[in-house]
């Protein structure tokens, strides 16, 4: 027994010594000309500095050490860019060196071995999918064809809220917005509405939340080299459960689509409007296609659409409404603009948004203060020099979008919610600001920038702006209890959720469906 204990002690001494030597050697090897860095701890490096909200923690570090800092997250070398100038260096000047996204255990497993588009390595497959997204899947023609889907879901949402208003019942606004965006994305992607079945709707919502949580959750095996093959946090079981649930859902929907397509082919028919899944299946069956899509590629792409398009749009709309509730004069100004353009006899449409510059400004200001992607994550594919510092290959890059949106060098009173900063006062501007959110202005990067910027920006803006305009147009919002204001604390997560749900009582200020009796209105 004594011999066993001695061997165990010797093994532990050897293990700790190996870890310390490796840690010291790694830092010594990469020490020359690296950006400034805080004091690191053995083994974990700077991991202890990031909890509980990484974007806020990195912002505090950048205030102390500068706009470009170097960190070790466990054994993984990282750099953090926290200013527009540094962001431009990485995302534009040296973009080709930072076109990859780092692979994590969770993402790799959930996306069928990185068979998706968002996390696929920069190369022929990614370029093909990018071109496909811009020309077909998320291009203007497809979005226009699927406009009736979005319009119908907004209508159902308003009718649901009118019923709640009539009953005087409080609504979890964020939860209901997530259901709406789930329905929109589900119908556009697969011609299925999630909430036809209450149980299935809850399952889909939970599935989307679980995917967002797992892909954003810290995993020891991604950062501590000797934990790579260990599952100390028990994440693999959860990953397998979520993956299996999603795979089962997709297999059912794929089989239904394939059967429907077969029947249409036998009748020499064609779909009047194809959903995204039909377009992907067309490409996978096209023998002359530039690149054949596998079943896993299709499933992984639909997963991308759900993960990136539902939670994010709902959270942005929820933050915007919360800010307006806390700023009633801005809410009233937005209502006057909507009433003057649309009137009070019909519901606001996507085509009206171009004539609502103040509403657009509200959404831009929300994205500045509450970006649903608070950190852009990339990885260097080759060695490069930035700002006089050496950045080795395989270094992870964090661009702190949240901090950049609060940079006092580029924003006056950066912590204040002021949509007016996005409304131009110059003649001939029609009240529209030239400052856009599509990645051309590096002090405003809610959708990223460059080749790996978000391809769904147009869809996201259409959904968020139209939904928010509807909530402003049709309802006043009362916060139960307290002083009527909303807490604005952020919660943990990859998509910047609110720490506290936005629960309000809607009060109808107009009924945009006067010709429809309450007994025949569509129930959600």
Examine the pLDDT at 133 and tell me if it is beyond 50.
yes
What is the reported pLDDT for 137?
Answer: 84
Name every residue whose Cβ is closer than 8 Å to that of residue 497 and which is 6 or more positions away in sequence. Answer: 174, 311, 315, 490, 491
For residue range 466-498, what is the model confidence (pLDDT) as tens digits? 999 999 999 999 999 878 899 999 998 888 999
Examine the pLDDT at 198 and tell me if it is beyond 80.
no
- Cβ count within 10 A of residue 234: 8
What is the reported pLDDT for 425?
Answer: 57
Residue entry with tokens 């899944």:
277
CB-based contact 468:317 (threshold 8 Å):
yes
Mean pLDDT of 166-179: 94
What is the reported pLDDT for 186?
Answer: 86
Least confident among 132-146, 169-183, 442-456: 132-146
Closest CA to 349 of 147, 187, 193: 147
CB-based contact 174:505 (threshold 8 Å):
no
Structure tokens at 268: 């020499």
Structure tokens at 455: 């391809």
pTM: 0.89
The one-character DSSP state at 292 is P
For residues 405 and 37, give the distance between their C-alpha atoms in angstroms, rounded to a whole number. 23
For residues 214 and 239, give the distance between their C-alpha atoms in angstroms, rounded to a whole number. 7
227 annotated to a ligand binding site: no
For residues 317 and 495, give the distance between their C-alpha atoms in angstroms, rounded to a whole number. 13
Closest CA to 394 of 129, 86, 72: 72
Q: Indicate the pLDDT class of residue 14, thresholds 50, 70 and 90.
A: very low
What is the reported pLDDT for 151?
Answer: 94
Least confident among 14-28, 104-118, 471-485, 507-521: 14-28
């Amino acid at each position: 027994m004594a011999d066993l204990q001695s061997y165990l002690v010797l093994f532990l001494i050897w293990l700790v010594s190996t870890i310390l030597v490796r840690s010291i050697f790694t830092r010594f090897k990469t020490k020359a000309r690296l950006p400034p860095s805080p004091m690191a701890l053995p083994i974990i490096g700077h991991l202890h500095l990031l909890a509980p909200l990484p974007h806020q923690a990195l912002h505090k570090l950048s205030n102390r050490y500068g706009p470009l800092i170097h960190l070790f997250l466990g054994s993984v070398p990282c750099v953090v860019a926290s200013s527009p100038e540094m962001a431009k260096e990485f995302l534009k000047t040296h973009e080709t060196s930072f076109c990859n996204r780092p692979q994590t255990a969770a993402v790799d497993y959930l996306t069928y071995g990185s068979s998706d588009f968002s996390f696929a390595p920069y190369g022929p497959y990614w370029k093909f999918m990018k071109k496909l997204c811009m020309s077909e899947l998320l291009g203007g023609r497809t979005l226009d064809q699927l406009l009736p889907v979005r319009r119908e879901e907004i209508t159902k949402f308003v009718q649901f809220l009118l019923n709640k208003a009539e009953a005087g019942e409080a609504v979890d606004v964020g939860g209901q917005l997530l259901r709406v965006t789930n329905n929109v994305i589900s119908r556009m992607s697969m011609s299925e509405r999630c909430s036809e079945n209450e149980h299935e709707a809850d399952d889909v919502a939970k599935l989307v939340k679980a995917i967002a949580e797992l892909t954003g959750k810290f995993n020891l095996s991604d950062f501590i080299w000797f934990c790579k093959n260990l599952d100390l946090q028990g994440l693999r079981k959860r990953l397998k459960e979520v993956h299996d649930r999603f795979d089962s859902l997709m297999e059912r929907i794929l089989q239904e689509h394939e059967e429907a397509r077969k029947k249409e082919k036998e009748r020499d028919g064609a779909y009047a409007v194809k959903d995204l899944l039909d377009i992907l299946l067309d490409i996978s069956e096209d023998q002359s296609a530039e690149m054949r899509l596998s079943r896993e590629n299709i499933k992984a792409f639909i997963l991308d659409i759900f993960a990136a398009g539902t939670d994010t749009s709902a959270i942005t709309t929820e933050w915007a409404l919360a800010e307006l509730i806390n700023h009633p004069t801005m809410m009233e100004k937005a209502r006057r603009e909507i009433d003057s353009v649309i009137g009070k006899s019909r519901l606001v449409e996507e085509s009206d948004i171009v004539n609502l510059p103040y509403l657009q400004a509200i959404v831009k200001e929300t994205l500045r203060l509450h970006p649903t992607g608070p950190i852009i994550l990339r990885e260097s594919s080759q060695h490069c020099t930035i700002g006089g510092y050496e950045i080795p290959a395989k270094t992870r890059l964090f661009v702190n979008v949240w901090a950049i949106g609060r940079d006092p060098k580029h924003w006056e009173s950066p912590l204040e919610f002021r949509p007016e900063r996005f409304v131009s006062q110059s003649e001939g501007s029609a009240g529209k600001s030239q400052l856009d959110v599509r990645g051309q202005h590096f002090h405003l990067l809610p959708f990223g920038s460059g080749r790996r910027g978000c391809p769904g920006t147009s869809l996201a803006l259409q959904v968020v702006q139209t939904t928010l305009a509807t909530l402003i147009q049709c309802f006043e919002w009362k916060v139960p209890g307290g002083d009527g204001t909303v807490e604005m604390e952020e919660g943990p997560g990859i998509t910047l959720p609110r720490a506290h749900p936005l629960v309000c009582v809607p009060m109808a200020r107009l009924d945009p469906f006067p010709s429809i009796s309450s007994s025949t209105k569509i129930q959600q």
